[in-house]
Amino acid sequence: MKRFSSMFFALVLACALSGAAFAAEWPSDTVKLIVAAKAGGGTDLAARIVAEKMSKLVNENVIVVNQTEGGGVIAFDTVKEDDAEALQLGFFIPSFFTAYISGASEINPLADVQCASFLGCTDASYICVRADSPYKTAKDLLDAARANPGKVVLGLSIGSRTHFTVEEFARAAGVQFKYVEAGHVADAIPALLGGHIDVAYLNGSNTAAYVASGQMRALAVSSEPFVRKPELENVPTFAQIGYPGLKCKTDFFVVVSKKAPAETLKKINETLQAVFADDEVKQKFAGISYAITPLDLEGSAASYKASFETFDAVGAALGVKVAR
């Protein structure tokens, strides 16, 4: 019996040591950054900058995989069902939260995955109209929306983080837009340019390109851009037009399966901190109007939970939170 017990505990110890060694060697193969959005949007562009630098740091290929099926639910499930090797990392924004809050997804962001890195983001997203729109300023748009509740058509992904952000802004301004499903940014742009919607809420890189080409006009920006591009230098912030303190902001975070061991979580977090310590990465993010502050593992867990709770509270206030 004693010999059996000794052999058993030796086996357990060997497995534990083997698991620790395996975790320390992360990654063991190609890493996939799972993005719940189409190519061309802000999240996709951010993920590609991260993937390029991560590949050099971890000496393995790091690729971006866009999984948009089911409004991103397939992407969320891919990460949740990953194994202990943690080679499929969710590179998500708070649409991961809002999908659960609104009932589009049953994957609980707090219970079903774990946060490896919270990337605090100062972003600049723009309320945009076509260049030939009758709305020349944010005041023009808001006045029209107040005078005609539910008539000004704003295209976005229903139930997404953008939906929460825009609706929070609309309620602060006392207006009611007519929301229509326009998918992600890559879909909303042709819908706006084609006259199918009146307004879109776009990231900085897309806004700058289309304003510079004379196809769009930017009326307001969510917060002060990290870098003011010449074509957007006079666009007022939400605060400047009278609506400060909005809470539904765009942060990025990297989440992994609950099966991933603590050492792997730590390695991923340290790698992301190294990515954003690179000056070239900072410049590239500035080019798409993002400034990123990566947090350590403890700070990531706390900020991730706090961000979820913020969106959860806003969802309840907006009446879109599903009872469970």
- pLDDT digit string, tens, across residues 28-54: 999 999 999 889 888 999 999 999 999
- Give DSSP secondary structure letters for 307-322: HHHHHHHHHHHHT-PP
207, 218 contact by CB (below 8 A): yes
Computed over every residue of the chain, the mean pLDDT equals 90
Is there a contact between 128 and 204 (Cβ–Cβ < 8 Å)?
A: no
Name the CATH superfamily, with its identifier, for domain 22-122+250-318: Bordetella uptake gene, domain 1 (3.40.190.150)
Q: Which has more confidence, 23 or 175?
A: 175
Domains 22-122+250-318 and 125-232 share a fold: yes
Q: Which residues of 296-311 are buried (b: 16+ CB within 10 A; e: fewer)?
A: ebeebbebbeebbebb
Q: What is the mean pLDDT of residues 82-93?
A: 97
CA distance 173 to 143: 10
Domain 125-232 CATH (choose: 3.40.640.10, 3.40.190.10, 3.40.50.300, 3.30.70.1560): 3.40.190.10
- Tell how far CA 177 is from the center of its chain: 23
* Residue 19, pLDDT score: 42
178, containing H or E segment: strand 178-181
Q: What is the pLDDT of residue 124?
A: 85
Burial class (CB in 10 A: 0-12, 13-18, 19+), 222: buried
Report the pLDDT value the prediction gives residue 136, as an integer from 0 to 100: 98
Give residue 24's pLDDT. Answer: 57
Query: Which residue has better confidence, 23 or 148?
Result: 148
Tell me the C-alpha distance between 189 and 210, whole Å: 9
274-280 average pLDDT score: 98
The lowest-confidence range among 40-44, 56-60, 295-299, 309-313 is: 40-44
Q: Which two tokens stand for residue 11?
A: 């086996």
Lowest mean pLDDT segment, chosen from 60-64, 129-133, 162-166, 285-289: 285-289
pLDDT tens digit string along 175-193? 999 999 998 788 899 999 9
Q: Using the predicted structure, report yes or no on whether residue 108 has a pLDDT greater than 90.
A: yes
Q: In this structure, how many other beta carbons lie within 10 angstroms of the beta carbon of residue 101?
A: 25
Q: Does 290 score more than 90 pLDDT? A: no
Examine the pLDDT at 150 and tell me if it is beyond 90: yes
Percentage of residues in the chain having pLDDT higher than 90: 75
- Residues 71 and 95: their CA atoms lie apart, in Å, by 9
Domain ranges of the chain: 22-122+250-318, 125-232
Q: Which of 95, 65, 94, 97 is nearest to 78 (CA)?
A: 65
Element of type H or E holding 289: none
For the cut 60, the answer to whether the pLDDT of residue 167 exceeds it is yes
Residue 81 is classified by DSSP as T
